[in-house]
Structure 1
Amino acid sequence: MKIKGVFIVILTAMLLTSCNKQKVYDSYQHTPVTGWERNDTLKFDDIERFKTAGDYATYLGLRINGYYPFMGLTLIIDKTTLPSHTIDSDTINCKLLDRHGNSQGIGGISYYQYNMKLKNIRVAKGDSIVVSVRHNMKREILPGISDIGFMLVKVK
C-alpha cells in the first residue's frame, strides 16, 4: 500500500511539472513593508529574449495581507516590446473583497493570492519585453500589498 502511495505522489509531481512547459516566465517582486508608493514602479526587466515567435498569455499575480484597507485595487501595467519599443498598456480594476469584506483570493490566515489575466501579446523571435506595474489609487501610499508578480505562458 505504501508503494502505491509513493507512486501516486511521484506521478502527480511529474504531471504537474510537465504541465508548465509552456510557462516562459514567472517572477514576483516585493513591495516595501511601509507601503507601496504611487510613484514606486515595479519593473520586470529580467525576461529573456523570446526563443520562438507567437502569442503569449500574460498574467498578473498579487499578494495582500490583512492591512490592505480597500475592497479593490487599480493597477496600470505597461508592457514594452524591445527592440521596437512598442508599449501595450493595461489598466485593471481588481476586486479583492466582496461587499461583506470577504477575500476573493486564494489563501487564508495571513496572505491572499490573486491572479488576473491580462491581454495576450504577440512577439517575434528575439524580442524581449519589459513590464512595469504601478498603482493608480487615490491614496499615495498603500499598505498591505506584499508582492506583485508577472507570468508569461506560450499560447498553443
Structure 2
Amino acid sequence: MTLKSKVILLLLCVLMLGCDKSRLFEKYQGMETGSWNIADTVSFDLPKISDSHKTIVGIKYNDDYEFRNLYLTYLLKDSLGQIIETQLLEIPLFDNKSGKPLGSGFGITFTKYDTLPLLTNNSYSKIQLLQYMRMDEIVGIEAVGVKIVK
C-alpha cells in the first residue's frame, strides 16, 4: 500500500468516526467580544423533530471566567412565538474544591455540556438562552450552543 493510499484511508476513517447519527441538531453562537452581555439573547430556531430526544446546552468558556458556575434562563417557544416553558438553570463550570475547569478542553478553553430538564414534549420550535448572573457583562464566555440528540 502506498503512502498516498494510507493517507486517504486514514482520512476516510476519521470522517466515518466523526459522523454521529445520534445528533439531530447542533449549533453554537459565538460571543464576538468574549463576554456575554445581560441584554444579549442567544436564540436558535430548531428543526421539527418527531422522535424522543434530549436537548443539551453547551457552554464554551475560558480561564477569564471569574465564577465557579453560570446561571442561565432558557425559554422554549412554539411556532407562534408563545412561551411554552421557562426555567432558571445553574451550570457548574469549575470544581468547588480544586477550582479545575469542568467539561472537556485543553489550554484555557473548555466546553461544559448540561442536559436541559425540559417538561414539554416536542412542541417547541425555538429556544432562547439568557445569562442570569446579575451582572451587565460576564467575561470568559466564548460561545453558547444547543445540541439535540436521540
8 Å contact 1:56–1:122 — kept in the other structure?
Answer: no
For residues 70-114 of structure 1, what are the alpha-carbon distances to aligned partners after superposition, in whole Å with 9 as ceiling and x for unaligned? 011111111212248351223221111112221112112131111
Question: Which runs of structure 1 show a deviation greater than 3 angstroms over 4 or more consecutive aligned residues?
Answer: 1-13, 83-86
Choose from 114, 117, 125 the match for 1:116: 114
Q: Which amino acid letter does the alignment assign opposite residue 84 of structure 2? A: I
8 Å contact 2:35–2:137 — kept in the other structure?
Answer: yes
Tell me if 1:53 matches 2:55: no
Tell me if 1:41 matches 2:41: yes
- Percent identity at matched positions? 21
Q: Secondary structure at the match of 1:39?
A: coil
Query: How much does 1:21 deviate?
Result: 2.5
8 Å contact 2:75–2:83 — kept in the other structure?
Answer: no
Number of paired residues?
Answer: 146
Within-5 A mapping of 1:80-119: 80-83=77-80, 85=82, 87-98=84-95, 99-119=97-117
Range with bigger deviation, 73-82 or 32-41: 32-41
Give the unaligned 5+ runs of structure 2.
none
Give the unaligned 5+ runs of structure 1.
none
Please report the TM-score for the alignment, with normalisation by the length of structure 2: 0.80
